[in-house]
Structure 1
Amino acid sequence: MIESRNDTRLSQVGVVGGGIRMNCSVRSSGNVSVKWMLPDGSKLEAPYRSSDNRITASPNGLTNLSKMQVASNGTLIIYHSQLSDNGYYKCVAGNQHGADSLATKVTLTRPSVVHADAPTPGRRFLILANGTLRITSATYTDRGVYKCISSNAAGADAASVHLMVAALPPVIQQLRRENITLSEGSIAYLNCSATGAPPPTISWTTPYGTQLWPSQFVSGTNTFVFPNGTLYIRHLGQVDAGKYECTATNTVGISLRALSLTVIQSVASARARITSSSAQKTEVIYGGRLQLDCVASGDPEPRVIWRTPSKNSSRSRRYVVFDNGTLFLNEVGMREQGNYTCYAENQIGKDEMKVHVKVVSDVPVIRNKTYEVVRVMYGESASLKCSVKGEVNPHILWISPTNRAITSASDKYLIHNDGTLFIHNVQRFDGGNYTCLARNSAGQDKKVYRLEILVSPPAINGLRGSTNSLKVSAMRDQRKLIHCEATGTPVPRVIWVLPENVVLPAPYYGARMTVHRNGTLDIQSLKVTDAAFLTCIAQNEGGEAKLIIQLDVLDTIEKPRLRSPKMESLSLTVGRTLTLNCSVEGSPAPQVTWVLPGGTALMSGSRFTKFFHKTDGTLVISNPALSEAGNYRCLGRNAGGQVERTVVLSPGRKPEINNRYNSPVSIISGESLQLHCLSASDPVHFTWTLPSGVVLNRPQRAGRYTVLQNGTLSIQQASVYDRGSYTCRTANEYGSSLLTISVIIIAYPPRITSSPAATTYARRGVAVQLNCVVVGIPKAEVAWETPDRTRLIVSPQPRLFGNKYLHPQGSLIIQNPMPKDTGFYRCTARNVLGVDSRGAYLHVY
């Protein structure tokens, strides 16, 4: 253990250049090792000698070097100190049983120089006229050697004075180490008083590292330090146990006192006790979440039970109690308002806590309150929903488009308990903005609906448009029914307007003319004077439609006759619009009717799904499918009789390829090739697959390959690489067909059939011809190599290179040969299949 005596200074102040002595006296049984830790973090262990010979450590006696000494008792001495020696020095002593340490703070300052003719900052130093130096309010840092220097022209003299300033390091009056044991819940007074000059400052360090100073208030703690240094701890608990350290410091040194506090658990503290809870008055919003805290402590751990306002325990499925005692509930209602009691109990005792919960009403909220537009057909019922969330249950009020409150007492309106408004038999005047208001004591909310009444304009006999015309013929003295069937929402009103503005409403019953309820005009015993323009008018809220009838009264009858053949077969193509003709003549003009395969009859001008019967007798089928295949009958009838025409629609078939190749196609390399793939079907999709695996699936050009619009594949300058099988595939929505063509490319490697002798002689000045005739498919490239390594390539046109003439057939003619032309000449023929060459040695003499 390192002893702390009155001469042990834990804080030293010195002047640069002076000496520093730090004690480290160790008391122990057995071998002890002493280490010093310097401010820069380095460690010294005896024996040790610093590089500058200022610090030396030796376990054997006093080692005296030029600047440093370390005594055998652990004292560290620094001679000729420097500013870099400032800091904390820590002495660590250890043996096999443990270790102890002691820290010393060293503060070094530069020596002050005071001149007689210069003012001194602070005016603590003053030189009198007789040379006396006066120091006012001397401190411990003013100690040291003062040197007086006197000089004139003849010389100089000096005198030194060593000033000692009396100061005492802090000394704590209590034991340096102490163990204290107190019971839980009691009050602790930990004393720590110290003496010294100047008076020391006292601070405490808690087990958790918190620094406490005298008269300092720290929120959230149960501790306080009195001005005399005593640490006060109230209501001791297990968390307060641990090591407390008191520190006394002044400018001279530092002193420490350590206390180990042990807290003994009492029976009272083991009893169940609620230590933390929610406020005794708690407000919660209706429909929100309720969370009540109840934190209990005790040994053993207490059990927590909640009692709700309904006097039931918290084990209800609506409530959740967590392990920490918190009570939780979702979607609070008014029945959750009242007193809640938390009980904490263990074998030693129990505790309870009450909380009053008030449920606060929230402003009513209409779910999905965005502006909506509701469209209802004329005459039907409308339903406008108004779902409200709020407590106390809000009152719902509906406002009509005329800004009047709607009551459920009327036959027109009905308001359900959930706020939904029903409007029966809506009319045009019922359209507009309907507002739902939800109110309670906390406020109100609203939602606006836009009600639109849908009407469809009238249509006569299924004809589109506001005005249509129709020509009708009838025989004299016979009965004629002229139909005017009106549809629309609401149901249209029908009237007939005759010449001279005679108006007949439906229904109307006259002597010779009757208008039935369905709008049909019935004329008995037709007269020639009845021929005129008759107008049928249909009206409703959506508008008006007119059908103008040109009535012709005939004296003679001409039987209907067809202009088209009675039977016709057509191919049905899926998705392609079809037009079926049916032209009928007769007097009176025949009435044309198309009968579909399912038996549905279409009058002239009528529409039915994909079918439209035009007034000229043609039937148009839009976007047909396979289901539209079958027999279509066209009927033309008048008073003279009836004719019939049948059109048969058959489903389309897969395309057939018209041309075939019974044997492979042969072609010489380099020529162009066309492979046909013709089909009479329309539309059809062509796809060519080449021997290399490349697929051409549309009319296009890809290098030497071209696919034409009619499906023909064109190959330019065919080569041996184009040989193989070509596959053409034609397809439509009904299937596909394949055509495979084998292509053979005729080609062979080049071969020189005529060449000069291996040794050829030429007379000087006499022209000589070196032949090189080549056969091969594709045509080979011919080139001559001269003795000087020049390469001459044969071209379709004759070429002259100096005295050498190159013929298109491959012959090399040397005009006026000279001795320099002597040498080895080689002819080379090359194509994609191979190479051939011949050589000759030419002597020119």
Structure 2
Amino acid sequence: MIDARNNTILTLDCSYSYDSGDVKLVIRWFHNDSPEPIYQWIPESNIRYVGQLIRPYFDMNFTINDDQYSKYRALRLNIISLRQEQSMIVVPLSLSGNYSCVISSIANQDSRQSQMIIYVPPSLFQFHFVESSADQFALECLVQDVYPEPRMIFIQQKNYSELSSPSSINVTTINNCQNEIVNHHHHHCLYSAWFRRPIDTILMAGTIYECRIQLYGTLYVRKKRIKIIFPTNKRPKLVDLPIESQSMLNISHVILCNLLQGTQPVHFEWTKNGQIIDPDHTKATNWKIDSTDNFSMLTIPRLDQYDSAIYKCIARNAYGYDSTTTKLRVQEKPILQKLAESVVLVANRTHVIFCTMISGSQPVFFEWTKNGEKISKSDQYKLVIEESFSALTLKRLNADDSATYTCLVKNAFGQDQTSTRLLIKVAPKVTRFHNEIIQPKDSSFVLNCAAYIGSHPLRFRWMKNGLTIDKQSMHLDRIQIETKHDYSFLKISNIELNDSGNYSCTVINDDGFDAQWSLLQVQESPVLAKLYSKNEQTKGSDIVLTCNVAKGSKPFRFQWFKNGVELSNTGQSTIETKDIFSLYTLRNIDSNDRGNYSCVVTNKFGFDKLWIQLTVTVDAAKPNLNKFPASEIKLWVDASYILPCSILSGSKPIFFEWYKDDHKKLSSTEYKIDNHDTNVNTCIQNDESPILVKVYSQNQHEQTKGSDLVLTCNVAKGSKPLRFQWFKNGVEVFNTGRSTIENKDIFSFFTLRNIDSNDVGNYSCVVTNKFGFDKLWIQLTVTANQNFVIANDAPRLVEFKNLYSQPMNSRFVVNCNSFSGVAPLKFFWTKNGHSIPQSSDSRIKIDVDDDFSTITIKNIKIDDAGNYSCTVQNRFGIDSQWSMLQVKDPPKINKNVIVDVEPIANTFQLLSCSIISGSEPVFFTWLKDEQPLRETSNLKIEINQQFSFLKIQTTNRNDSGRYACQVRNAYGTDSMIFRLNVKDEPKLVPLQKRLELVDKSTFSALCSLASGSSVFFEWMKDGHKLSTNTNIRIDNTDDYSLLSIKNLAITDSGIYECIAKILMEVHRHPHNL
């Protein structure tokens, strides 16, 4: 900052360092944001450029040093010139601003910036007393030849507070002075500011007044003071009233104000809380003010709680005034603001009950009770007690918090209490079920569904595989459902296999639901297929015994016994066990293998047993060969020779084989001998074509529908290798989905699972080797079991995922797969128990195949949420699975509303909070300044699933604050803030009723707000709107309006009225001039 009166030469320097690498050095100066430099110097060519802005003041001969690369880097400016003919200073004020120095070379660049402000201190600064009258005096402050425009402030010694000063300063013009820069220079101006003050504001010891000037944008401040003293013995002096007094309700009270000294006449005045007690007030309240020359007495005939206040007595005369103050406290019993009769709340939230005392004398004591029992501070309850209110906080609300809560307040003069009933809305919770229950057939199945928490009434619903259990429609007397207040139980007597399934219980109330499920598995003891009881086998042959489960619940355990002794694997015998059958193989049997063989199968529900009596017969006669003619025969090359091999004895048929040197030779009838054929030839006889064990008597076998069948084809004797083939009705069968063929060296077994009527037919096994073949056949018949529904006949579905929780507009896909069941299968889809037709919505697609069905919903919406179930059915039964779809849609509030609200006091106000999307149920909560709101007689809250209204019946200043609307659901929350600023009705400070002034004088009237804000003012004269002109000036702010009239004339006499307006409210104060 540059003082233009004391600085005529200004140097701006930009110091820098450089080295040999900094070639092509350039120094440039810039002013403010101009892209053109005001100065540029290139040292290597010693070329300088000076811009128009600084050219009139630039010193071309100035050097900062003798270095050829830095001597012209600085700016030397001669900024002041004196015009003698005008006796005025001309200052280049346009030089003020931001200066930037930029140093650059080919290798580097750097810059620095600084601000320069040029100001002109005043050549004249005076503060003096102007005039005085009987009750007022005036002071004036003058400032001349200053830049920039000064701010002028008046300050009074008392509390050193700023006085009310004109919002604009009277300017005396010299040479058409304007408050601006012309041709880079400033004109000469005279500023004059003055004010009037009542004489009675002067302190006895005198009052110091100060005029202070400040130049905008600078640190320049100057001040001058005046002390004004008036004679003190003529001013009134009062006897001090007691600082505080107390009185009781409904009695009379008198305050006496005595004059100690002061020149007559003395006038008394009373105020209550700063407001004058005028005759209208005394008339309305029957108050009485009696004043004499030496005292004044204020009488309040009957005290009430509103009479508690600060009372002031003021004595005035022509030389000043004095005042004395007392605080009156009217004692009374406490009165509480009534709580809402009942409040409905949601569980697991925090709730605060506010107990507010609207009147009553301190000290007071608060106490809380719940259903008549005193509440103490604990983890569950938080108590806050202040001077005029108490707050009870209940944390994590639950059903036990539903009760009547009472707030009691008492003091020495009485007590009051208020109560509210809290009703906690709690969603039900069900005692956990066992996920899986396994019970034997013909037992009783019982499930108890008990709700251990939840608001009543409760509704119970039982389902099996996603379908509601309806005793009447199912025509089952074995089912019993009994429901009580808090529980329901399901009982099924004599359970059967088709009772297996997923049983679920859902408990519902108005606040939510809960569900539990158990998977029931009905099991039965095993039953073996009785294939044979006797078996006769040839000595030396092999036998395979089969133990096949026709029905029963897995897993099974198989055991083999001979004559009551358990068997195990040995070198001669092996045991092979699968899931539904076991095979016992005995090789090269002899007479010691005779006996009773039994198979025992067990599961956790029982056992079954079959036995076979094995007998062994003697072998047929073995063949005996005749001896060869000689043990050695010598022949010539190319000779022919016939070697006979004949049988001496043995059972037919007979098969011959020839060997050369123990290796089997070709079976040709003639064999040419050459000189390499010296060898040993052997003839071996073998008659072992295959012979099968005839397992099935009468070639008949009967099997229950839905069971599994294992047929065994066992070679008793025969030469290996053996080849096995299976046929049905003469057509060879192979491995399929339901049938498998497994071949061993001496046996083969054919397994057929889940048999039905289509499997009836003639099954045969053919075994062959190179010497022959054998065959056995069985006629299979399938019978139905009327008392037993085979699980594999009825369809079974792969278990669904119980819950899908997906966002909106995603794709929902559920596959319904049947892993068992006899075709044809029919699939049905339902939502919440209602059938889903495929054509109902283009977004929904249902695909059906032989063994599965798929439902696909694209771009899911809120309405798509629900319970989706798939049911598959054939002629033997049904099965179902279900999934619950939850569509995640957090609530979203419509925020296209006005959030900054400024109502007028004593009016109705509505705050509206509505949601434009979100999954139901949604829950609204209103808060004020972070604290939950509750309904009162003046505040109502209306809530439904789409919007909530907050209604304030009659607003007041206490309703101002930050209001928050919060909405939540199971998937998220949203909130919106309203800022409510209740404006008081405007009230004006009364103007002086009558004022007499002289011609050519100046008049000022200040119209200010005693209460209220943000109004606009109007001035009226004799009922007509007053406009500004050269003599009349009106300066308005949000809080006051200043009317100034200079050069008063007779025509300016009249009734001046100040009007403050806010919306439709109008408040007036007249002033008779």
Query: TM class, shorter-chain normalised?
Result: under 0.3
Higher RCO (C-alpha 8 Å, min separation 6): 1
**TM-score of the superposed pair, with normalisation by structure 2:** 0.22
**TM-score of the superposed pair, with normalisation by structure 1:** 0.26
Structure number with larger C-alpha Rg: 1
